[in-house]
Structure 1
Amino acid sequence: MDWSQEMRELERRQEFSVQMGGPDKIKRQHDNGKLTVRERVAGLVDSGSFVEVGALAGTAEYDEQGQLKNVVPSNVVIGRARLDNRPVVVIGDDFTVRGGANDGAVGDKMIFAEQMAFDLRVPMVRLVDGTGGGGSVKNIEKLGHTLLPKMKIWSWIARNLSHVPVVSLALGSVAGQGAARVSGSHYSVMVKDTSQLFIAGPPVVERIGQNFTKNELGGSKIHTRNGVVDDEVETEEQAFTAARRFLSYLPDCAQEVAPRGERPAHLPDQSWLRTAIPKDPRKVYKIRPIVESLFDPGSVMEIGKNWGKAIVSGLARIDGWPVVFVASNPYHYGGAWDRHTSEKFTRLVDLAELFRLPVVHLVDVPGFQIGIDAEKDGVMRAGVRALTAVSQATVPWFSLIMRKAFGVAAGGHQNSNRFNFRYAWPSAQWGSLPIEGGLDVAYRAEIEAAPDPQARRSEIEVRVRSLTSPLRSAEAFVIEDIIDPVETRARLVEFAELSAKFRQAREYSLGFRP
């Protein structure tokens, strides 16, 4: 007597699981330009490190004698692995099995994976391709009744967002709960042309008289420009690379400290920064070369490039230390904050707070976006949320005023109720509002009463502008230090070193965003 029969049965069931939806469905997946879930896991994690959990789950078929005929595996693959030699939990949808519909223990496995990441305090990567547990119409006939939407998994998703780094990769057509799982993460990516994201897909939307292709309705060109998804890439392999890079800046969980990377051996020449800001205030400049010059070479990971374009933001390193950075982009509304920019800024501040990453803010802000479109878009509500995020921030903060800092939006360049590092370049200018916008209002009566109103206006402008030099503000200690732009990198390194002691672990409690 031995266990050989049981071992053969186990091996047979394991074979069913790796067969996924069968050769025809796998071929269709490849023909659509997509990898299978097991190919995705292998492409994401360190070779040989994946330990699958629940591989035997599925829908079994037995003959009249109770002997197993076949098992359709669960269309969710979960497990533990290592990613760049760090532990992660991976959960992947298998579109070759029922297109991700909710059977085969899908819901239970999803919840188990979220619990696993939470209790082990390790990051989670979701490979989303389908409805992701939302069920199918066929389930009604199978179950004999309809299900009341509960979203049982969502409490775990929400809890993990305040606990461990979560990355979601949309790798196919995702709808309903699958779409929510993509957006419910710290960082999300779509693959151009092969992935789409919907509240409801084209067949359902057609019923309300709207006829669109999948990409027209929910392609990456839509959702990486409205902020639902952070970034888009060309291939699934690039999505895996983006996930690995994002996680490299973060700790395993909010109770640990983000790892320090390698310190750069060589730095680019900084002298060109002295001429980076044009003397003519009407001329714009490119902010990305400034960002690349100030941070460690090759360390800048921009997040959300295609939305909230009045800021360029993401993750970077200073002398090896990871930081969140936000930099004004004068090429978009002159750097004025619209609603999307405010929302993007708030998300980055929340990320910094959760994982105790210092913030570097490079400021050139003329204020919030103005005009009828801005008012209709609700810029002020989103802007107030951003300002509140700053006022609630407790992480170390470094502000550099490069040029403009005007209005309420500029007031959020840092939390004024606590110590922050703050410097200005000689090109800086600030105030309640720009001279150009406030002169006619403040001196209207004097200008209109003059024999030559235009001459009087010019005279007043020259007089007022002579008082706007940042050096005059420094005399009154309005600004702590004005520095040669070449010195900026050295000040950032000091900031990173002094901030290291404040990267301590803690339990995270998110404040209310009005």
Structure 2
Amino acid sequence: MPESTTRSQMTMADRIKELREKKKAIRGMGGQKRIDKQHSQGKLTARERVDALLDQDSFQEQNAFAQHRCTHFGMEGKEISADGVITGCGAVDGRQIHLASQDFTSVGGAAGEIHSEKVVNMMKASLKTGSPFVFINDSGGARIQEGIDALSGYGRTFYHNTLLSGVVPQVSLICGPCAGGAAYAPALTDFIIQTRQAQMFITGPSVIKQVTGEDVTAEQLGGPEAQMNYSGVVHFIADDDNHATAICKKLLSFLPSNNMEDPPIGPREETMGIDESLNAVIPDNPRQGYNMHDVIGKVVDNADFLEVHASFAQNIIVGFGRINGRTVGIIANQPMVKAGCLDIDASDKSSRFIRFCNAFNIPLVTLVDVPGFMPGVQQEYGGIIRHGAKMLFAYSAATVPKISIMLRKSYGGAYLAMCGKQLGADRVAAWPTAEIAVMGAEGAASVVFRKEIAAAEDQNAKRQELIDAYRDKFSTPYIAGARQFVDDIIEPAETKRYLAMALDSLATKRDVRPEKKHGLIPL
């Protein structure tokens, strides 16, 4: 368009040409040089991530023309493509989501007032339409030039994260830097997927060095292994951006779009077979471990299990699967790690997962082989009582169908914490190897028969005799069956069929609770 042409003189063709040029500039993000740098670091651009996540041609971008209004420190008149964040809605496997994807090629994806407002608008749209919200993080942090306005934007984001909590699923992908206040938005979502190219922390290595004198690299401090293995902040580790979007798609496939819906149902099996291999899973030696993943793989459809927090608190396993097409949340002790004991981290990990499943109408299947809560001074000082109480609270408060299978050990308070009948389990079945007791036979015999053992000529032989007697009497599922704490004792081979039938019969479960604002979960 000639410079002398005024807007009133522009034809429709001129205006369309202008629009196309502006859209081309917006889609060009921070320019080819910065895009190339992003690719050289093994990362996709913000728009490429959106394309990788969404069904083809389903993305409808919103607020692409939004611009900041800052006039300080060289910002006046400076145009930032889409203000550094791509926002809109689209489909994942035909189901709508809303999303925001930060653009590191545009001023490092720094979050300012309008940037955050765009993110919040998508969260509001998720709430209105009952669709999941996905936030792809790749940002250098707050836009410092905007001062308190940038900080206010973070605050509005956190507030709306909380409004969405328990209403629609929220998933965060950490695909680049995510530091300072920015890290709290993902922490308020339901699931965090971090790539190996990303770091996430509140204070960076240089600040830590200044304040505490500790030397640490960004990877050691905020890399995916650190935030999974040590802190438990991250739920999934992805090799790269494409892997992260694939995990996100699979995760969403198990979940309902909102708290008013049931999870999607997959293919159903006309006949439910018997898996004889399960009869050989439990070792004859009660001290010998086995891999609980072998059990999970045989009871879920097609051995398809999406484990959550796989490298954190590995003495307990949580994740999603389907049983005869129905999505379930699985909580299972892992005898291969710490004998499957419940400790502080395992209690926190499972409690949060239980509460997520309950919020989104996902039935809970609990596979039990637990010798108790982890003993030790550090566990007690760390608050194992209040952390363990979270499991009791979470299971008791859950109103979704709750089915427990007791495979082997189920002792003491841990028997209850793994959703015993007394915590509202709708179905409890036991394998014939189940040992349901206040404590293990060795410990119980030492307490109950202390005098008899002390008086015996051969104390070791007497102790073993009494241990065997206690185990024969109490370390079985039959007394629990007699008290109706176990609904059925089944062959391991029948487990999947038992679960499938129980899930079908509980599909219409209703559980009315006292009216209240909310319960107070232990800290």
TM-score, normalized by the shorter chain, greater than 0.5: yes
Superposed counterparts of 1:116-127, under 5 Å: 116-127=125-136
Amino acid of the residue matched to residue 30 of structure 1? H
Equivalent runs, 1:329-344 vs 2, <5 Å: 329-344=334-349
SS of residue matched to 1:106 = helix
Distance 1:222 1:288 in 2: 24
In terms of mean alpha carbon deviation, does 440-449 or 405-414 score higher? 440-449
In the TM superposition, what are the counterparts of 1:143-154 in structure 2 within 5 Å?
Answer: 151-154=155-158
Corresponding residue of 2:187: 183
Q: Report the Cα offset of residue 58 of structure 1.
A: 2.7
- For 1:176 and 1:90, locate their aligned partners in 2 and report how far apart those are by CA, in whole Å: 22
- 1:509, CA displacement in angstroms? 7.1
Deviation per CA, 1:44-80: give whole Å up to 9, x if none.
1001111011111235999xxxxx9955441111001
Q: Cα gap change, 1:465/1:298 in structure 2, threshold over 3 Å: closer, same or farther?
A: closer
Name the TM-score, length of structure 2 as normaliser: 0.90
Query: What residue in structure 1 maps to residue 206 of structure 2?
Result: 203
**Which segments of 5 or more consecutive residues in structure 1 lack a partner in the other structure?**
63-67
| Structure 2 counterpart of 1:431 | 437
- The equivalences for 1:308-457 within 5 A come to 308-414=313-419, 416=422, 418=424, 420-457=426-463
RMSD: 2.7
Match of 2:468 in 1: 462
1:168 counterpart = 2:172: yes
Residue deviations 1:88-107 (CA, integer Å, cap 9, x gap): 00111111112122337212
Give the secondary structure class of the aligned counterpart of 1:416.
helix
Aligned residue in 2 for 1:107: 116
- Cα pair 1:58 1:104 within 8 Å, conserved: no
Deviations 1:426-458 (A, max 9, x none): 110021111222322332233223333223322
For 2:390 and 2:70, locate their aligned partners in 1 and report how far apart those are by CA, in whole Å.
Answer: 54
Q: State the TM-score, normalized to the length of structure 1.
A: 0.91
Question: How has the CA–CA distance of structure 1 residues 147 and 355 changed in structure 2, closer, same or farther, with 3 Å as cutoff?
Answer: closer
Deviation at 1:503, TM superposition (A): 8.8
User: Distance in 1 between the 2:216 and 2:38 partners?
Assistant: 22
Partner Cα separation in structure 1 for residue 136 and residue 154 of structure 2: 22
Which deviates more, 371-380 or 115-124?
Answer: 371-380
Q: CA deviation at 1:123?
A: 0.6
The 5 Å alignment of 1:205-220 reads: 205-208=208-211, 209-220=213-224
Please name the residue that 2:309 is paired with.
304
2:282 matched residue in structure 1? 277
How much does 1:265 deviate? 7.2
Q: How does 1:179-258 map to 2 (within 5 A)?
A: 179-192=183-196, 194-208=197-211, 209-225=213-229, 226-258=231-263
The DSSP-based 3-state class of the residue aligned with 1:105 is: helix
Indicate the residue corresponding to 1:44 in structure 2: 53
1:511 corresponds to which letter in structure 2?
A: G
In structure 2, do the counterparts of structure 1 residues 266 and 126 end up closer, same or farther at CA, with 3 Å as the change threshold?
A: farther
CA contact (8 A) 2:274 2:494 kept: no
Check conservation: 1:405, 1:430, Cα contact below 8 A: yes
Query: How far off is 1:202 after superposition?
Result: 2.3
Give the drift of 1:251: 1.2
Partner of 2:74: none
Aligned partners of 1:357 and 1:503 also within 8 Å: no
**Unaligned runs of at least 5 residues, structure 2:** 1-8, 72-76
Structure 1 window deviating more from structure 2 (410-419 vs 463-472): it is 410-419
Figure out how many residues of one structure are paired with residues of the other and give that number: 502
Over residues 316-346 of structure 1, what are the superposed CA-to-partner deviations in whole Å (9 max), with x where a residue is unaligned?
1111111111111001110001111111111
Most deviating of 455-464 and 271-280: 455-464
CA distance in 1, matches of 2:94, 2:403: 32
Corresponding residue number in structure 1 for 2:38: 29
Q: Mean Cα displacement is larger for which, 259-268 or 233-242?
A: 259-268
Amino acid at match of 2:208: V
Q: Tell me how far apart the structure 1 counterparts of residues 392 and 18 of structure 2 sit (CA, whole Å).
A: 61
Following TM superposition, by how much is the alpha carbon of 1:237 offset from its aligned partner in structure 2, in angstroms? 1.0
**Secondary structure in 1 matching 2:97:** strand
Q: 5 Å matches for 1:472-491?
A: 472-491=479-498
CA contact (8 A) 2:104 2:140 kept: no
Match of 2:83 in 1: 74
Residues 195 and 224 of structure 2 are in contact (CA less than 8 Å); yes or no, is this contact kept in structure 1?
yes
Equivalent in the alignment of 2:502? 495
Which amino acid is 1:292 matched to? G
Instruction: Give, in whole Å, the separation in 1 of the partners of 2:254 and 2:328.
Output: 8
Check conservation: 2:441, 2:468, Cα contact below 8 A: no
1:513 aligns with 521
CA distance in 2 between counterparts of 1:478 and 1:207 reads 58
Distance 1:56 1:104, change over 3 A: farther
